[in-house]
């Protein structure tokens, strides 16, 4: 596993641990489903230990077909940093994404309407401005996003060509 340390962007590594932990947890559940195992997941099982993100137990039950289908995609998974399309999403897409988030213990909110979009743009703009003022941020960002060909961390130069879209 590649260690990611971004002290200017993430001075408190707790958020990073949770984000990486969620991704690892998802991939573990999906990989076990690909092997035919269902899982029982308890998130944050120990209130006294915030480092203990989850307890996963394989159970004798039928694995979720959706998770089993995704198992083969794990090695091909990449972040997609391209711009979003300007056309609106189909009506069912936000509802489907909200359902996926809810089933995984997360909350997804759709930003709809001009006023909500303006508020979100304002918040993102203010956050970006504060972040740019953070000591070391520019150097850290350059180091993380402009990697040499053999780098094992950061955003890989070939990432844009490895987008997996399942329908």
- pTM for this one? 0.55
Q: Which two structure tokens, joined as six digits, stand for 8?
A: 């200017």
Which pLDDT score is estimated for 68? 80
Query: How confident is the model over 66-125, as pLDDT tens digits?
Result: 788 888 888 887 777 677 778 888 889 999 999 988 887 788 988 888 999 999 999 999
pLDDT of 159 over the 70 cut = no
Taking a C-beta distance cutoff of 8 angstroms, is the pair 29, 68 a contact? no
Which ranges in 45-156 belong to alpha helices (H)? 65-70, 92-103, 114-132, 137-145
Q: Which residue would you say has higher pLDDT here, 65 or 160?
A: 65
Query: How confident is the model over 15-54, as pLDDT tens digits?
Result: 667 777 788 888 898 899 888 888 898 988 898 987 788 8
> What band does 4 get if pLDDT is binned at 50, 70 and 90?
low
**Which residue in 165, 142, 147 sits closest to 157, CA to CA?**
147
How far apart CA 124 and CA 148 sit, in angstroms, is 29
**Which residue in 84, 104, 87, 89 sits closest to 22, CA to CA?**
104
pLDDT of 132 over the 70 cut = yes
Q: Distances from the Cα of 31 to the Cαs of 62, 106, 133, 167, in angstroms?
A: 14, 20, 41, 20
């Amino acid at each position: 596993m590649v260690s990611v340390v971004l002290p200017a962007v993430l001075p408190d590594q707790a958020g990073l641990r949770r984000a990486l932990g969620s991704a690892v947890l998802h991939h573990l559940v999906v990989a076990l489903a690909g092997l035919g195992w269902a899982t029982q997941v308890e998130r944050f099982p120990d209130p006294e230990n915030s480092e203990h993100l989850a307890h996963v137990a394989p159970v004798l039950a039928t694995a979720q077909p959706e998770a089993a289908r995704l198992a083969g995609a794990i090695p091909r998974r990449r972040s997609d940093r391209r711009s979003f399309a300007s056309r609106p999403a189909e009506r069912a897409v936000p509802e489907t994404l909200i359902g996926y988030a809810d089933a995984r213990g997360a909350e997804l909110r759709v930003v709809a309407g001009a006023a909500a979009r303006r508020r979100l743009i304002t918040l993102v703009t203010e956050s970006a401005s504060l972040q740019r003022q953070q000591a070391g941020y520019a150097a850290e960002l350059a180091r993380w996003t402009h990697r040499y060909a053999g780098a094992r961390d950061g955003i890989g130069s070939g990432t844009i060509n490895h987008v997996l879209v399942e329908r």
